[in-house]
Every structure is written in structure tokens, then in C-alpha cells.
Structure 1
Amino acid sequence: MNAFAARSDLTLAMVLEPPHLDPTAGAAAAIDEIVYANIFEGLTRIGPDGAVKPALAASWEVSADEKTYVFHLQQGVRFHDGAAFDADDVKFSLDRARAPESTNAQKGLFTAIDEVEVMDPSTVRVSLKYPSGDFLYNMGWGDAVIVGRTSAAGNKEKPIGTGPFKFQNWAKGSQIVLAGNPDYWGEKPALDRATFRFIPDPAAATAALLAGDVQAFPSFPAPEAVPQFQADPRFEVVIGTTEGETILAENNARPPFDNPKVREAIAHAIDRKAVIDGAMFGFGTPIGSFFPPHHPAYVDLTGERKYDPELARKLLTEAGYPKGFRTTLKLPPPTYARRGGEIVAAQLRAVGIEADIIPVEWAQWLDQVFKGKDYDLTIVAHTEPNDLNIFARDDYYFNYRNPAFKALIAQIEATSDDAKRKALYQRAQGILSDDAPVAFLLQFPKLGIWDAKLQGLWKNYPIQANDLTAVKWTD
């Protein structure tokens, strides 16, 4: 018998600090990376393999026409402030998320819902307007977590959920601490304290791991340092996949990016391999549309927009820009964006497009680019799963409009047959490749590095989460 108790605390690091901690009121992935499955829970949850699992809903039945879902809720659940969880909280949360005044960043997840009814304190019936093949999956997103009726308004600064960890404190600019929830309704995790530290600088990230200041960096920002850790037996290096389609986004409503030939020219001006090698040290997979290569419906369309500077210059001339033009490129803090941006700017310059680089902080990017649509070009990884539908949203920051694509997305959402959905997904990928509303760069890798004695962190990111429920230290 081991005389020493297993270690029960963990300090793990992230690149970006979240703007707040309410996953139902913000698009930043950093929110979910802290709170998903740790503080907040949904009716369902997405597991490490991407499969839908029960969460606050212990079980459910689906009607024959796939338009009615009856959820049977877990018993004895309480929010962190002691309030009892019941069916009224589910109705409140889903109605709040889909309300006209909702600030939910993914309101599209709830579009199919027609009505949410409380049948009794532990049973909820959700009626849909049409069958939705993604409904149970959508209910497992961070944006669909269940919040308390009395505590929801304060979740940005003091998140109160039903999960296995409670929010303890937030030292702005430095770290967020979670403590184990002794009253958790489910299986209690091995950890009783978890500290999330924010380390945006790649050199500092490497130093913090080597010094033992942090024991895990689930999404490590310094790919150039990976071989050093692979050679060090104190660490485990786990290279997985993410849902992060990384793109050079273009403001389709702003000249000259409203011209399809200009967007085509940009697509052919980009050497994806050079971006992956230069910014990611070879980690990452080239993509030709907005779809992850590990998905069964993926089509490799990288050949449709091959690197061809001569063709790019020809297309620019046809578009009325024989001498190119000057533009701006706003780059958020992550390494892939800053390093990738330098490479992309050089490639654009080679065909006559002079892109002035403007570094912005993450809060500025969210405010100026994502919300304000005040940009020409930007580079960012979209880490949400199943998010092809963002190109069908009129209010999205790309300002891309294609009625045929929009109709196709509506058809996908109303289709539950896997073979039919696959064919529709493949058609949708083709439309985006043809229209080139953005330049598709790479599928972002998950470079996980942590102490070799640590178990239970996810290899892949099927959803943006650092789920700590199964994390433990071994001897």
C-alpha cells in the first residue's frame, strides 16, 4: 500500500484568457475550455471520442417522427449555490438561449425548437419544428448548458453550475482556480483543485512546463519545442486533432473582397504547406473547404485552389487590379495567427497585394472583427464542432451571402439519414471551395504536453473543452 496519498491538485495552462465565464453568452473558445463539463453541464455532453452521452438528462425518448424528445432528468442535483435543479431550469435555459434578445453566440443550435414543456419536476418535453439530426449533439455544446434561474445573470463573473468543480477565484490577467464540488451529484473527480494559468507567449509556455510551474498544456502554443518534450521522459506528448478550421477570413461586404475574382486570386496566392511549415513547424493538415479531415463526410478539395501565384495575378488583373491593392490584416494573439500572418502577408505581397499587419489583443479582435465586422482580412481558427452553418448566417462577420448554400444548410439540419447528410455536406463543401468566401488554410492540430504521471486529459478536441472529470495522478 502506498503511504502517500495521490496528488489531487493540477495547474494547467491555456494561451488565451476568457473575456468572461458564461458559455451561453460568448463566442470565445477559452470560456468552454475552462467551464465545459467542469462547472457547467447540459442535458447531454460530448465525450472525448465525439459521441453524445447523458449528462443532466439521464435518458430520453424520441418520437417516431423525430420531432419530440422527452428527457428524464438526473435526481438530487443541486447548483453550486445550493439551489435545486429541476425541469424548470431546463425550460428557462433553453427558452433564454433562443429568445429574440438572447446574447447566445450559437443561437442556431436552438432554431429547431418549437416548444419546451415541463411535464413534472424531473421530465421535460422538447417539441421541434422539424426533425433535426444534430439535436442531441447540439444540446451537448457549451452554449446549451443548463443555468440556474436565480444565478444565470451573474455567470460571467461568478459562474454557478451543477458540475463537479466550483468556481473559486479569478486573478485577472493571471489565473482562474476551480475547487472540487463535494456535493456533486455524479461520480466525484480525483482532483480537488485545478488552476488554469494564462500563458500566451510560446517561450514562456515552454519554460513554465520545463520548470514544473504548470503540469499540463493541453493545447501547447510552441510547435517548434515539441521535439524537446518528446525526448524528455518526464513528459507525455500527445498529438491529436481539433475542430479548428484555420482560415484567412475576408470581409465579403467590403471592396475589393466583394469581387469573387479577388477572393479566388487570394485563394491561389496562398501556399498552405509554407504556412503549416513556417507557423506550425509541420503540424496541421491542409484544408480546401470548411470541414475537418477526420469527419466521414470530408472531401479533399485542396487541389481545387492550388498555390499558383501566376493565376492569382491573372485573376487580379481580370478583377480590375493589375497592380494589386493595399489592405489590412488584423491578427489576434495566438502564435498560429501572428506567425501565419507574416507568411500569408509575404505570399500576398508576391502577387501585388500589400497587407499591412495590425496586431490586436483578443478582446479587440472579438469587438472589432467578430462583432463590429470592422476589418479587411484576419486569421483565426474556428474551433466549434459542426460549424459549417456559420457561412449561412447573414449576420456573421464574413458577410458572405449565398442563398443556395443557405438552403443546403437548412436541408442538412432537417435531415437525419446519415447517407443523405453526407452527400449534402459534400455539396456544401464544394460550394464554399468554388465561392472562396475565405481562404482555407489548415485544420489545427492539438499539441498536448503534460506530466507523464498525469492521466485522463483528452487526446483530441471534438469540442473545445479541458474536461477534468477523469483526470488523475498515477504513481
Structure 2
Amino acid sequence: MNRKTLVLPAVIGLLTPVIAACGTTGGGGDSGDAIVVGTTDRFTVSQDTPAPIDPAYAYDVGTWNILRQTVQTLLVQPRGEGEPEPEAAESCGFTDNGNERYVCKLRKDLKFANGDAITAEDVKFSIDRARAIKADSGVFALLSTIDTIETEGDREVIFHLNTSDATFPYKLSTPVAGIVNPDDYEKNKLRDGFKVDGSGPYTLDAQVENDEMVKAVFTKNPHYKGNLEPKNDEVVLRSFASADAMGDALEKGDIDLMTRTMSPKQITKFSESHDSDIDVVQSSGLEIRYLAFNTKASEVSTAVRQAMAEVIDRAELVAKVYGSQAEPLYSLVPAGITGHSNSFYNKYGEPSAAKARTTLQTAGITTPVKLTLHYTTDHYGPATEKEFEQLKKQLDDSGLFDVTIKGEPWNAFVPAERKGEYDVWGMGWFPDFPDADNYLAPFLDKDNFLKLPYANSKIRGTLIPESRREADRLTASESLTGIQDIVADDVPILPLWQGNQYVAVRDGVTGAEYAVNSSSTLQLWELGRGISD
């Protein structure tokens, strides 16, 4: 028996499952015990993040995966990727040649989970609310190309854009464009805590201990009308403090499936086991990791950043920490996405301490350069610490740097990063939607979610708008490559690697090959119980 199920790319940018393994196929059903899913994502209310799952605030993969189950959007990314499909809407489309007027018509008799009717005005309220609040998470920037929204009757929503934006349908499929009940959400204020009132396939019962959601119970919404077909009545999402604790729970049968983030050791263990009732599902992921820089800090001048790009050996980093589970990345746009270019490799070539020394000497910078690299200890998996230890070793061994590494839990790391307390910090990116624009604009455009001080007028004023005018993304490649080349020159961000995605599932659970899509969206509606192979 092959213990690993592969979800392989059918064409560039599209993922289609082609092989089934034990416990991952079958029709499933609408009845049976709740399916229990494990995650190491943590959901915490704090002074800095009082409203972690408000659609107008949430902007990380964990909180979005809560909202994707509960808050409906006009469009949704399909099971096997591709163009967004109608969800709360029965139809959507551009009505002009310039991609500046976009019209959606709602499904008939659409209702919130409490039975209240949904109208076009509710859609307008929800999206205008996110735009008006402008939460410091930066998620509102996804809606930046909206000029005004108008409605006609109860079912038609008309978006007037301030510029051409061929990616706009993708943005309407993200949780920031989720439809919320105006009776439960204030127009100009975030909703604190863990309550959600939407029209998605499930309702949420959050079980909270010490301001942390430790368990999310998703129950099938009887009023749901949309494109998705839930194959279960209830799913429980349990949050674990560590990958080891989550793995132990899977082996004991306390959970049925474990998702992000498994450790490299666990992936290898479950993949290579020949007599276990646990299978691993692997898919080509679009997750990336990178270093971000406060470009205003003198400690990380352009020359310092370029020297780091010349020293860091991505292939060695991946081999020693992640093995075959990741690949070196030489651009913000990962391989597999139309418009990808290996801009960093084209500029810097193979790692070279000698070239880095010349770069620093030419800029008059005294070595070793003292730096602190910050990372989060509990958001991207247990291998993150080892990754930063390897980065420190590579930089220190060059003789050009004296590096300190410092880890913080996610609930402390994010506020510090947003307040500009770090000069260099490590982050990951799970795409909002699978398009090159979503690997560039969120980092480089105005109101970028990292709050980077870096601002390049050609990128913002010319190249991003040019790329968005092209509905054919191949035609946009010239503009997209231009952006990536500028990033390689200026190094406001240093890409490191892109990774595959993995889930581990017990026999008897169906649909695991669709449990996570290429954007790392958790699709709990796909899971069911059935007969194993």
C-alpha cells in the first residue's frame, strides 16, 4: 500500500487530485459522528487583536479558514482551482471592456443562518464596512480598486472600480468580502470575540478558554444556499499547542485528520509507514516563506540586504530543514503561478560570500554586520526555529554577519511587526487567490499588509496597474516580471522557499484529497465518512 496520496498539478496553477489512497475516497454521507480535525493554528483575543475573526479584520490563513466555513462570499474558488465560481451570487461578470464595472446577481431566497433574508444592501453594507474600518491588518487593501458600490432591487450589486482589475473576481471570493448580518455587525466598529453570523455552509460554536478558542464546532447550516455541497453534518476543529500533541491525538484516534502544520518528521513518519491506518495526502502548495525588512532602518541598508541575498543558500536551507517537502524560491511569485520569474537567481546567481563582501565594502559598511532575525514560534510549524538557526549559521559562517535570532508567539509577534519594532523578520504567505498579483501587491502596493516603508513609484504607479488590466495573465507577464526584477534589485523582501501541503488522515474519512486547496483554504465541507479502500 502506498501511504502517500498525491494531488498533482494538471496544468500550471491548477491542482487536480489524480491518485487515491486508503481513507481518502468514497462518497461519504450526510450522517455520522462529527469529523474532528486538528490544527496548530491558535485563535486568541487580546488587547492588540480583540476581533480576530471579524471579516473586516482577519487576515491570516487560520482565521480565514474559520470564516470560509461560516461567511458566504459572492464567488468561491472551485474545488480544483481555476476561475472563481458563483456562490452567494447566481451570476457575476464584467459588463464593460475595461474591466471596471462588475455586476453580481444574488441567488433567490438567500438567507443568513438565523433565517433573515439577504439582500443586495447587505452585500453593500458588508463590503463598504470593511473598506471604511480599514483595520490595521491591512486586509481592506484587497478591496482598494472599488470606487463605489450600488444596488438595484434586492438582488443586484454593481461594483464601480477606480481602475481596471482583472483579478477582482478573485478578491470577491476572499473572506474580507464576506456577507455579514447588519443586525450583528456595527458599521464602523469591529466585532470583538469569536462570534460569526453569516450564511456559509456551517454555523460556528466557539469553545473558549482563557481568551483562546480551543475548539470550533461547525454545524451544517439548514438555510445555506450556495455552490458547495457539505458531506457531513458537523466538523470539530481542535487547536493544539504543538504538532507533536496533534500527531499523538491522531494516532490515538482522538482526531480524524491533521492539517497545518505538521512537522517534517511527522510527514516522513506517516508517509513511510506501511502498516498504519493513517495516510498522508500531499499536494503542490503555493505557500512561500521570506524575510521582510524595515527598509528605513540603517542596519539593513540596501547593500546589507543585497549581501544577505548573496550569502543565503536556499538549497542548503531547504535540504537541511525541509528535505523534499519544499523547494528553493527565487522570487515572491512561486513556481506554478503564471508570471513567475527567477529574478533573484538571475541577479545574484549561486551563493557567494566573496560577492557579498565586495557589495558591503563598496558601500563602506563595516563587518561583521550585527542583525537580529525575528520569527514566530507557533504559527508556521515546529521547523521554523531550525530554519532560523540555519539562516543564522549561513550568515555567521560568511564572516560578514553577527546574527541573533529571537522567537515570539504569534499573538506577540504580529503586533510587534505591525508597530515597526523589527528590522528583519520572517513571515509566510498563503495566497488569498492563486494569481501573481496576490504575491506582489499585498507587499508592495499602498496600504500593504506588512506596513513596509518601501515604496517604488514604478511598481505602484505603472506595473501593478498594467498587470491588472490584462485578463489574460500570460499577457501580464511582462509587467509582473518587471516588478519581480525591481524587488530583486532593492530587496525589501527576500524570498526563501515554497512548500508542498500535507494532511494526515485516518482510514474511514473521505474527501481528504480536497480538504486543503492550493491557497491553503480548509474545505471542511469536503470531508465525510465512508468505506476505505
For normalisation by structure 1, the TM-score amounts to: 0.92
Give deviations 1:197-221, integer Å, cap 9, x for gaps: 1224232232222122221122242
Partner of 1:348: 395
Give yes or no for the alignment of 1:441 onto 2:485.
no
Per the TM alignment, residue 81 of structure 1 is displaced from its structure 2 partner at its CA by 3.0
Within a 5 Å distance, the mapping from 1:400-415 to structure 2 comes to: 400-407=454-461, 408-415=463-470
Pairing 1:110–2:143 present: yes
| 1:209 matched residue in structure 2 | 250
Q: Residues 33-85 of structure 1: CA distance to partner in whole angstroms, max 9, x if unpaired?
A: 2221x101111011233321111111124213232222110122221233221
- Contact kept? 2:317, 2:391, Cα under 8 Å: yes
Q: Which runs of 4+ in 1 moved over 4 A?
A: 100-104
User: One-letter code of the match for 2:458?
Assistant: A
Residue 12 (structure 1) aligned to one of 37, 55, 70:
37
Percent identity, aligned pairs only? 22
Pairwise CA distance, 1:322: 3.6
Partner Cα distance (1:256, 1:277) in 2:
29
CA distance in 2, matches of 1:127, 1:110: 12
**Alignment partner, residue 352 of structure 2:** 308
Root mean square deviation of aligned Cα = 2.2
By how many angstroms is 1:403 displaced?
A: 1.3
Q: What one-letter code is carried by the residue in structure 1 that aligns with 2:353? A: P
Given that residues 18 and 28 in structure 1 are in contact (C-alpha distance below 8 angstroms), is that contact kept between their aligned partners in structure 2? no
Deviation (angstroms), 1:279: 2.4
Structure 1: 5+ residue runs without aligned partners?
none
How many Å apart are 1:108 and its aligned residue? Answer: 2.5
What's the CA shift string for 1:337-395, capped at 9, x where partnerless? 322111111111123322222210101111001x2121021111111242311232355
Q: Distance in 1 between matches of 2:88 and 2:164?
A: 22
For the structure 1 residues 5 and 366, does the alpha-carbon distance in structure 2 shift closer, same or farther, using more than 3 Å as the test?
Answer: closer
Task: Supply the distance in 2 between the matched residues of 1:360 and 1:103 (Cα, whole angstroms).
Answer: 20
Matches within 5 A, 1:277-296: 277-296=319-338
Which has the higher mean CA deviation after the structures are superposed, 315-324 or 280-289? 315-324
The yes-or-no answer on 1:472 pairing with 2:528 is yes
**1:251·1:376 contact (CA, 8 Å) conserved in 2?**
yes
In the TM superposition, 1:27-38 aligns within 5 A as 27-36=59-68, 38=69
Could you say which residue in structure 1 is the equivalent of 2:197? 160
Hey, what's the Cα distance between the residues in 2 that align with 1:264 and 1:5?
55
Q: Is the 8 A contact 1:238 1:459 kept in 2?
A: no
Q: Secondary structure of the equivalent of 1:195?
A: strand
Query: Which amino acid in structure 2 is aligned with residue 373 of structure 1?
Result: G
> Residue 92 of structure 2 aligns with which residue?
60
8 Å Cα contact 1:337/1:379 also seen in 2? no
Q: 1:62 to 1:401 in 2, by over 3 A?
A: closer
Letter in 2 for 1:228: K
Q: CA deviation at 1:134?
A: 0.5
Aligned partner of 1:199: which letter? Answer: F
8 A Cα contact 2:229 2:526, kept in partner: no
Matching residue within 236, 239, 244 for 1:195: 236
> 2:48 maps to what in 1?
none
Aligned residue for 1:331, secondary structure, equals: strand
| Matches of 1:161 and 1:459, distance apart in 2 | 21
Q: Does 1:276 align with 2:318?
A: yes
Q: 2:288 aligns with which of 245, 267, 272?
A: 245
Q: What amino acid is aligned across from residue 332 of structure 1 in structure 2? A: T
Q: Residues 34-45 of structure 1: matches in 2 within 5 Å?
A: 34-36=66-68, 38-45=69-76
Deviates more, 1:327-336 or 1:456-465: 456-465
DSSP 3-state at the match of 1:152: coil
Shift of 1:5: 9.0
Letter of the 1:256 counterpart? E
Structure 2, unmatched stretches of 5+, are 1-28, 45-51
- 1:70 aligns to what SS in structure 2? strand
User: How far is 1:104 from its partner?
Assistant: 6.2
Partner Cα separation in structure 2 for residue 86 and residue 201 of structure 1? 43
Q: Corresponding residue for 1:48?
A: 79
Confirm or deny: 8 A CA contact 1:286 1:302 kept in the other structure: no
Structure 1 residues 92-139: Cα deviation after superposition (integer angstroms, max 9, x where no partner): 012112226455632232222222111011111222223211011110
Distance verdict in 2 for CA 1:23–1:156, change over 3 Å: farther
One of 125, 129, 138 as aligned partner of 1:92: 125
CA–CA distance in structure 2, aligned partners of residues 143 and 464 of structure 1? 16
8 Å Cα contact 1:251/1:373 also seen in 2: yes
- Match for residue 141 of structure 1 among 174, 181, 184: 174
1: CA distance between counterparts of 2:516 and 2:365?
43
> Which position in structure 1 is the counterpart of 2:12?
none
Q: 1:177 aligns with which of 194, 212, 217?
A: 217
> Aligned equivalents of 1:23 and 1:346: distance in 2?
40
2:507 corresponding residue in structure 1: 452
2:13 corresponding residue in structure 1: none
- Equivalents in 1 of 2:257, 2:470: separation in Å? 40
Q: Shift of residue 182 of structure 1?
A: 2.4
Distance in structure 1 (CA, Å) of the matches to 2:217 and 2:286: 26
Cα distance change of structure 1 residues 300 and 101 upon mapping to structure 2, 3 Å threshold:
closer
Alignment counterpart, residue 462 of structure 1, candidates 489, 512, 518 = 518
User: Residues of 1 paired with 2:366 and 2:138: CA distance?
Assistant: 40
1:391 pairs with one of 415, 440, 443:
443
Equivalent residue of 2:476, what SS? Answer: helix
1:82 partner amino acid: G
Q: State which of 74, 95, 102 in structure 1 corresponds to 2:107.
A: 74
Task: Call closer, same or farther: CA 1:101–1:446 in 2, change over 3 Å.
Answer: closer
Which of 294, 312, 317 is the matching residue for 2:361? 317
Contact in 2 for aligned 1:98/1:110 (Cα 8 Å): yes
Q: Indicate yes or no: 2:299 matched with 1:256.
A: yes
| Cα distance in 2 between the residues matched to 1:444 and 1:170 | 31
For 1:317 and 1:459, locate their aligned partners in 2 and report how far apart those are by CA, in whole Å. 51
Q: TM-score, normalised to structure 2's length?
A: 0.83
